[in-house]
Chains A and B, each alone.
Chain A
Amino acid sequence: MKAGKKETKPKTVSYGKYGYLFIAPFFIVYLVFSLWPLINTFYYSMFEYTTRNLRTTITFTGLQNYLNVLGIADGEQGYFLKYLGNTLRLWLLNFVPQILLSLLAAAWLTNNRAKLKARGFYKVVLYMPNIITAASISLLFCALLSKYGPIMSTLRSLGWISQNADIMMSKWGTGISISMIQVWMWYGNTMLLLIAGIIGISPDIYEAAELDGATGRQQFFSITLPLLKPVMLYVLVTSAIGGLQLFDIPALFNVGQGTGYVGGPNDTSTTVTMYIMRLHNTDTGRAAAVSVLLFICTLIISLIFFRVMQTSDAYGGGGKKKKGGKRHGK
């Protein structure tokens, strides 16, 4: 009925208001289910929650929770900084090998001179671990690598180690294992992103370089790598933000029975998100303070990212506007 009414005077109808209608569900749900909880998390972080005899009393304590988790207050351990350190260590151990491996694979799979026939197959297989449930993968490696598991036994029977090693007792053994699982799961994904980036580089540039007699290696280091900068930056930032939230793998890999998200050995593989999970039932205030600090870290990374993107000559709004004319002139 309403549609018929509109039809009689189509030119005077302004459709703009329908835009609000279409974006309304997203914004309403986001405000209610994400933004409101976020504001509340800030709010909760300023209260102390103490439970005695099943009754929880809530008292306003200002920034006390922050001082506690940062270890500034007396007698507090500063767990946030400790777990942030763990998280960053796990991320660095993962990111460096990951980016190198995926760059190498991406360069080989896009090389036209030595074109590999099974490119499609390689991509499919290397990406595969990324789609499998991380929780299952963590437990799978935990079982394969455990002290009396198959890998240690095989190494011993080959005579490579004299007795079954227990990586779960070693800080670096556990850390490197978790990071290598991350590399194994994620380098296929990064490789596909880099391949998309390399394919996006104009073939003219490579042709010109070819005519000038540049070798494959020279082309990679002086064309591919510099022009991949925006994609690499994107990979770096998404990986860093994802790395800060690291949860699934360390939450299952080396946690003791009934200890509840304490990453062994000696709490050295506990991440910030595991800490939030550990606190959320017993100490809402502290858990909220940790969340806010995590939010600030994420924000800083994102802001640096946007800043670099904007000032980067090869990419981004500011640079493009100024140079746009020249660039499209060819």
Chain B
Amino acid sequence: MESNQPLQNKTKAVRRQKIFRNIIMILLCLISLIPFYLMFVNATRTSTQVQSGISLLFGSNLKNNIANFDKSQQGLGVTVLQSMFNSFKVAVPFTVLSVYFSSMTAYGIHNYSFKGRKAAWAFIMGVMMVPTQVFAIGFYQFMMKLNLLDTYWPLIIPGITTPAVVFFMKQYMEGALSPELVEAARIDGCGEIRIFNTIVVPLMKPAIATQAIFQFVASWNNLFMPTLIISSSEKKTLTMFVQMLTSESFRTDYGVVFLGLSITILPMLVMYFLLSRFIVEGVSLGGVKG
């Protein structure tokens, strides 16, 4: 009986600790969620209501805000839905190129021994740290010479060179791809490129799916490169549309601004909650490389 006493105290302390920590974590969760909630609420209120303070209850002005938003966006040369479609047209091919060619590069280095293999890998690791911004000026001038400014090509082609994805794919290959499998396919008379396309790529599906999500998100959220490359209104991407929400025609009406923001954020939010499990897992996997 006596010896049980400290143990009970201990479990009590642990329970108290758990309650405290849960409260803090729930608070942090609320901090993550509330800005979005306020945004959706304010999208349904009039400008004066928004300015009068925070409300947790939805208003009844959504229809009006939609009408006003639609009116304001007519002057911009691109609608929010068009800009979303434009972002989609960039992000999908970018993602496909990124996961396909990164797997290919990783496979080339993982599966074959050739002269300069180590140097090639060192190069890929080295350029992982080089940000786009430092060569943007040269890139812009080069695209001008190639007559590719104001097209989507300069935003899509760099998908072939995403070193971080190559790194991830190679890590994954080391665990998932056995040399015997490749050997067996060779004996069956498969060509090397066919082996890659029909055996390696399907084996890499989980890694490809995870990286595809991240590459899609990265391209979709990119503001810097589209701003540099795209100039025609009708080609502007979603992030460039967001930038236009700061213009005079929107600034005067808070309800409309919040509605516009809600529309730009909603697709990502929905995607996140559908795929959150993969995404959280993907971030954790990426972290192992640290």
Contact = CB atoms under 8 A, between A and B. Distances in A.
A151 B35 CA distance: 11
A280 B160 contact: no
A252 B246 contact: yes
Interface in B197-227: 217, 220-221, 223-224, 227
A19 B29 contact: no
A213 interface: no
A312 to B, nearest CB: 12
A176 to B, nearest CB: 16
Contact of B196 (A17, A22, A154, A302): A22
A231 interface: yes
Nearest to A187: B28
A193 B287 contact: yes
Contacts of A7: 189
A109 B21 CA distance: 9
A23 B223 contact: no
A247 interface: yes
A221 interface: no
B129 interface: yes
Given A33-B158, A37-B142, A40-B142, A143 B113 contact: no
Interface in B101-138: 101-102, 104-105, 107-109, 111-115, 117, 120, 123-124, 127, 129-131, 133-138
Contacts of A114: 14, 17-18, 21
Given A131-B268, A143-B258, A34 B130 contact: yes
Contact of B14 (A39, A113, A132): A113
Contacts, number: 311
For the residues of B in contact with A, the DSSP-based class is helix
Interface stretch (B61-69, B71-79, B278-286): B278-286
A196 interface: yes
Interface in B174-198: 186-187, 189-194, 196
Given A36-B142, A247-B133, A298-B129, A22 B105 contact: yes
B137 A288 contact: yes
B200 to A, nearest CB: 10
Contacts of A15: 112, 192
A21 B108 contact: yes
B21 A131 contact: no
A127 to B, nearest CB: 6
Contacts of B285: 196
Contacts of A139: 242, 245-246, 257, 261
A158 to B, nearest CB: 9
Interface string A130-156: 011111110111111000111101100
A172 interface: no
B137 A276 contact: yes
A211 to B, nearest CB: 16
Contact of A29 (B136, B141, B161, B272): B161
B224 to A, nearest CB: 5
Interface stretch (A72-80, A88-96, A118-126, A202-210): A118-126
B134 A41 contact: yes
B85 interface: no
B284 A252 contact: no
A276 B104 contact: no
A283 B258 CA distance: 36
B223 A251 contact: yes
A19 B133 contact: no
A70 interface: no
Contacts of B172: none
Nearest to B160: A29
Interface pairs A-B: 9 shortest CB-CB: A22-B108, A19-B112, A37-B138, A234-B290, A40-B138, A193-B287, A41-B138, A196-B287, A295-B134
Given A21-B193, A33-B158, A116-B25, 4 more contacts: A34-B158, A41-B134, A137-B265, A139-B242
Interface of A: 2-4, 6-7, 10, 15-23, 25-27, 29-30, 33-34, 36-41, 43-44, 105, 108-109, 113-116, 118, 120-129, 131-137, 139-144, 148-151, 153-154, 157, 184, 188-189, 192-197, 200, 230-231, 233-235, 237, 241, 244-245, 247-248, 251-252, 255, 257, 273, 276-277, 280, 284, 287-288, 291-292, 294-295, 298, 302
13 contacts: A16-B114, A21-B108, A22-B104, A37-B138, A120-B280, A127-B280, A143-B42, A153-B51, A245-B131, A245-B133, A257-B246, A276-B137, A284-B137
